[in-house]
Amino acid sequence: MLIVRIDILTIFPGMFSGPFSESILMRAQESGALQIEVHNIRDFALDKHKTTDDYPFGGGPGMVMKPEPVFLAVEHVKELARQRGVQPWVILMCPQGRRLDQALVERLAKLEHIIIICGHYEGVDERIRQYLVDEEISIGDYILTGGELPAMVLTDAVARLLPGVISEESTLQESFRDGFLEYPQYTRPQDFRGMKVPEVLLSGDHEKVRLWRRKESLRRTLMRRPDLLESRDLSPGDLALLKEIEREMLGG
Ligand SMILES: C[S@@+](CC[C@H](N)C(=O)[O-])C[C@H]1O[C@@H](n2cnc3c(N)ncnc32)[C@H](O)[C@@H]1O
């Protein structure tokens, strides 16, 4: 079984204890599919005050994360990995990086060992980005205080794809897995305050249910994320369903 290891480097290790000890992230670790270790970058600071930030050269607001503790922390983790014969992939969480999407998560879930650096303050010394990092990843076009929440988002998204963590069937049907948004889901009761579950889902006819779900998945994608349809080659079956949806939308 492939065991994925994620080492997270942060100056706020305490932020991870809650999210990593609940739900899927906990289950992934318990199942043995995922090993997570959180390291305090401060432990690698060189001075007695354990300084991890300093003023920016050239002036300006805020502080910048110093290179030495981050380089030392990454080198420490890499050395342990080298002894196991593994070459980790070093990621910097960064609003200027490639935007995280499901395709990127799928690629990362195939790696054996990931090191995630969480920035803070005004960001990190440019030499970390240039000489230490393999890939910069953003979780969206907005600025957070630090890379800890983005690292948790990334870890969660990777963890749920690892074999045995959740059923493969449920991950395969989720939004973005095949390039479309997921169909609507219902559970009991069948009739809640007069709001009814679509009849077809109660029919027991698996083929009809499959077709309805495919069509609703396409409808959702067309209504909410038409860009996802533009970037794909659609099967003749999907094209026929889309035509039906367009006719329905025009009242035909
Ligand atoms: C306040 S931000 C620094 C922003 C930086 N001054 C800039 O303009 O690009 C501090 C740290 O939070 C993390 N961060 C903030 N927003 C992020 C996002 N959208 N995606 C990934 N990481 C983010 C990064 O690690 C970043 O170094």
Does the beta carbon of 184 sit less than 6 angstroms from any atom of ligand 1?
no
**C-alpha of residue 88 to centroid of ligand 1, in Å:** 22
Q: How many domains does the chain have?
A: 2
Same domain, residue pair 49 and 115: yes
CB 37 within 8 A of CB 118: no
Same domain, residue pair 123 and 219: no
CATH number, domain containing residue 56: 3.40.1280.10
**C-alpha of residue 56 to centroid of ligand 1, in Å:** 16
Q: To test the ligand 1 pocket, which listed residue (93, 98, 115) has its Cβ within 8 A of the most ligand atoms? A: 93
Same domain, residue pair 123 and 153: yes
Same domain, residue pair 119 and 212: no
In tens digits, the chain (252 residues) has pLDDT values of: 778 999 999 999 999 999 999 999 999 999 999 999 999 999 999 999 999 999 999 999 999 999 999 999 999 999 999 999 999 999 999 999 999 999 999 999 999 999 999 999 999 999 999 999 999 999 999 999 999 999 999 999 999 999 989 888 878 778 888 889 999 999 999 999 999 999 999 999 999 999 999 999 999 999 999 999 998 889 999 999 999 999 999 986
Indicate which residue's Cα is closest to atom 1 of ligand 1: 145
Residue 148's domain comprises: 4-166
Same domain, residue pair 65 and 84: yes
Could you say which of 143, 166, 189 is where a domain stops? 166
Same domain, residue pair 158 and 181: no
Same domain, residue pair 151 and 210: no
Cα distances (angstroms) measured from residue 183 to each of 179, 188, 231: 12, 17, 19
Does the beta carbon of 62 sit less than 6 angstroms from any atom of ligand 1?
no
Does the beta carbon of 167 sit less than 6 angstroms from any atom of ligand 1?
no
For residues 116-152, b (16+ Cβ closer than 10 Å) or e, as one string?
Answer: bbbbbbebbbeebbeebbeebbbbeeeebebbbebbb
Same domain, residue pair 158 and 80: yes
Q: Return d(Cα 67, Cα 52) in angstroms, integer.
A: 8
